[in-house]
Amino acid sequence: MNKKRRLNSFYLFCYIGLLPTILLYVIFRIIPIADTFRLSFYSWSILGVGNKFIGLGNYFKLFQDKLFITALVNTTLFAILVVFFSVVISLALAIMLNNKRMERFSPIYELVYFLPVVTPMVPVAVMWKWIYDPQYGLLNYFLSLLGISPRAWLVYPNLALYAIVIMSVWKIIGYYMMIFLVGLKNISKEYYEAALIDGAVGGQVFRYITLPLLRPIVLYVLVVATIQAFNVFTQVYVMTSDIQGAPGRLVRVFVYDIYENGFRYFKMGYASAEAVILLLIVLALTIFEFRVMGKED
Amino acid sequence: MKNIRWESSKIIIMHIVLILGGIAMILPFVWMFVTSIKPSTEVLSWPPSFIPKSPTWENYRTVLQEAPFGRYFLNTFLISTISALSILFTSSLSGFIFAKYEFPGRNTLFLALLATAMIPLECYMISLYLLINRFGWINTYQGVVAPILVMAFGVFFMRQNILSIPNELLDAARIDGCSEWRIYTTIILPLSRSALGALAIFAYMNAWSFFIWPLIVINERSLYTMELGLTIFQKRFTVDYGLITAGSTIAVLPILVIFLILRRNIIEGVTLTGLKG
Amino acid sequence: MRKITLGVASVLVLCIFLGSAVAFGNTKLSLWSGYPEMMPFYEKVAEDYQKLHPEVEVEILAYNLRDHEQKLSVTIPTDTVADVVEISDYAMRKFVEAGFIPPNPPDIDAMLKSGSYSQFAIDHLTYGSNTYGIPLFRGRQVMFWNKTMFAEEGLPGAPTNWDEVIDYSQKLARYDEQGNLTRSGISLRISGGGSGVAEKWWFWLYPAGGTIIEKCPDGKYRAGYDNEAGQEALKLYIDLLYKYHVDDHEIKHDSEAFALELTAMFTRESWVVGYMQQYAPDVEYDTAPLPRYKRAGTIENLVNIHVTRPCKDPEIAWDLIKFILQPEYQTYLFETVGWLPARDDIDYSPVYEKIPQYRNFLEIPEDFEFFGYEPIACFDEIQTKLAERLVDAFLDQGLVDNPEGIARVIHEAAEETNSILRENELYHEE
- What is the share, in percent, of chain A residues with pLDDT greater than 90? 43
pLDDT band of residue A99 (cuts 50, 70, 90) is: confident
Q: Which of B241-255, C1-15, C170-184, C220-234 has the lowest mean pLDDT?
A: C1-15
pLDDT band of residue C281 (cuts 50, 70, 90) is: very high
pLDDT band of residue A247 (cuts 50, 70, 90) is: low
Cβ contact, residue pair C59, B220, below 8 Å: yes
Cβ contact, residue pair A240, C192, below 8 Å: yes
Domains and CATH numbers, chain A: 59-293 (1.10.3720.10)
pLDDT of C401 over the 70 cut: yes
Those residues with Cβ within 8 angstroms of residue C69's Cβ, 6 or more apart along the chain or in another chain: C34, C87, C91
pLDDT band of residue A241 (cuts 50, 70, 90) is: low
Cβ contact, residue pair B14, A96, below 8 Å: yes
Work out the minimum CA distance from B40 to partner chain A, whole angstroms: 16
From start to end of chain B, where are the E strands? Answer: none
The architecture CATH gives domain B67-276: Orthogonal Bundle (1.10)
Query: Taking CB atoms and an 8 Å cutoff, what residues of chain C touch A237?
Result: 193
- More confidently predicted of B215 and C14: B215
Least CA distance to C71: which residue of chain A? A263
Distance CA A149, CA C187 (A): 24
Q: Which one of C67, C256, C273, C283 makes the best mutation probe of the B interface by having the most chain B beta carbons within 10 Å?
A: C67
Distance CA C269, CA A52 (A): 41
* pLDDT tens digit sequence for B33-84: 998 999 888 888 777 778 888 899 999 998 888 778 889 999 999 999 999 9
pLDDT band of residue C334 (cuts 50, 70, 90) is: very high
The full length of chain A comes to: 297
* pLDDT tens digit sequence for A44-98: 888 877 788 988 999 999 999 988 999 999 999 999 999 999 999 999 999 888 8
Name the residue facing B252 among A21, A102, A120 (closest C-beta): A120
- More confidently predicted of B199 and C21: B199
Distance CA A72, CA A230 (A): 9
Tell whether A282 is within 8 A of chain B (Cβ). yes
Cβ distance C145 to C265 under 8 Å?
A: yes
From start to end of C80-212, where are the E strands? Answer: 84-88, 126-127, 130-131, 134-140, 142-146, 174-175, 181-183
Output the average pLDDT for chain C. 91
For residue C358, the tally of other CB atoms under 10 A from its CB is 21
Query: Taking CB atoms and an 8 Å cutoff, what residues of chain C touch A242?
Result: 192-194, 196
Mean pLDDT of the region C187-212: 91
pLDDT computed for residue A246 by the predictor:
46
Closest CA to B207 of B124, B148, B137: B148
Residue spans in chain B of domains classed CATH 1.10.3720.10:
67-276
Domains and CATH numbers, chain C: 27-139+301-362 (3.40.190.10), 142-299+369-423 (3.40.190.10)
Q: Which one of C3, C17, C37 makes the best mutation probe of the B interface by having the most chain B beta carbons within 10 Å?
A: C37
Cβ contact, residue pair B238, C70, below 8 Å: no
Mean pLDDT of the region A262-269: 87
pLDDT computed for residue A235 by the predictor:
84
Rounded to 5 degrees, φ, ψ at C373 are: -60, 130
Query: Taking CB atoms and an 8 Å cutoff, what residues of chain A touch B160?
Result: 183, 216-217, 219-220
Q: What is the secondary structure of B152-191 as a DSSP string? A: HHHHHHHHHHHHTS-HHHHHHHHHTT--HHHHIIIIIHHH
Work out the minimum CA distance from A47 to partner chain C, whole angstroms: 6
Rounded to 5 degrees, φ, ψ at C161 are: -145, 175
pLDDT band of residue B29 (cuts 50, 70, 90) is: confident
Least CA distance to A160: which residue of chain C? C192
pLDDT band of residue A104 (cuts 50, 70, 90) is: confident
pLDDT of C9 over the 80 cut: no
Rounded to 5 degrees, φ, ψ at C383 are: -65, -40
Cβ distance A40 to A277 under 8 Å?
A: no
- More confidently predicted of A100 and C236: C236
Those residues with Cβ within 8 angstroms of residue B222's Cβ, 6 or more apart along the chain or in another chain: B71, B75, C18, C21
Query: Taking CB atoms and an 8 Å cutoff, what residues of chain A touch B161?
Result: 182-183, 186, 216-217
pLDDT computed for residue B273 by the predictor:
36
Q: Are strands C134-140 and C130-131 parallel, antiparallel or unpaired?
A: unpaired
Please count the residue pairs, one from chain B and one from chain C, whose beta carbons lie less than 8 angstroms apart. 92
Cβ contact, residue pair C59, B82, below 8 Å: no
Tell whether A128 is within 8 A of chain B (Cβ). yes
pLDDT of C5 over the 70 cut: no
Distance CA B163, CA B182 (A): 18
Distance CA B122, CA A268 (A): 11
pLDDT computed for residue B277 by the predictor:
32
Tell whether A123 is within 8 A of chain B (Cβ). yes
Cβ contact, residue pair C98, A47, below 8 Å: yes
The H or E element spanning position C32 is strand C27-33
- Which ipTM value was assigned to this complex? 0.87
- More confidently predicted of C3 and C284: C284
Distance CA C60, CA C46 (A): 8
Those residues with Cβ within 8 angstroms of residue C51's Cβ, 6 or more apart along the chain or in another chain: none
* pLDDT tens digit sequence for C236-275: 999 999 999 999 888 888 888 999 999 999 999 999 998 9
pLDDT computed for residue A243 by the predictor:
54
Q: Which of A88-97, B205-214, B258-267, C369-378 has the lowest mean pLDDT?
A: B258-267
* pLDDT tens digit sequence for A127-167: 888 788 877 777 888 788 888 777 778 878 788 899 899 99
* pLDDT tens digit sequence for C48-104: 999 999 999 999 999 988 889 989 999 999 999 999 999 998 889 889 988 999 999
From residue A18, alpha-carbon distances to A15, B97, B142 in Å are: 5, 8, 22
Name the residue facing A258 among B123, B131, B202 (closest C-beta): B123
> How many CA atoms lie less than 13 Å away from C366 in the CB half-sphere?
0
For residue B132, the tally of other CB atoms under 10 A from its CB is 25
Question: Would residue B65 be called left, alpha or beta, if left means φ above 0 and alpha means ψ between -120 and 50 degrees?
Answer: alpha
- What is the share, in percent, of chain A residues with pLDDT greater than 70? 94
pLDDT computed for residue C7 by the predictor:
65
Cβ distance B24 to B18 under 8 Å?
A: no
pLDDT computed for residue A100 by the predictor:
76
Mean pLDDT of the region B198-207: 92
Helices (H), ranges, C143-270: 147-152, 162-172, 196-205, 228-238, 254-259
Rounded to 5 degrees, φ, ψ at C107 are: -70, -35
Work out the minimum CA distance from A58 to partner chain B, whole angstroms: 15
Closest CA to C98 of C72, C71, C66: C72
- pTM listed for this prediction: 0.89
pLDDT computed for residue B156 by the predictor:
95
* pLDDT tens digit sequence for C301-314: 999 999 999 999 99
Cβ distance A252 to A70 under 8 Å?
A: yes
- More confidently predicted of C366 and A222: A222
From start to end of chain A, where are the E strands? Answer: 42-43, 52-53
pLDDT of A251 over the 60 cut: yes
Mean pLDDT of the region C381-386: 92
Name the residue facing A245 among C66, C73, C255 (closest C-beta): C255
CA C351 remoteness from chain centre: 21
The full length of chain B comes to: 277
pLDDT of C369 over the 50 cut: yes
Tell whether B123 is within 8 A of chain A (Cβ). yes
pLDDT band of residue B234 (cuts 50, 70, 90) is: confident
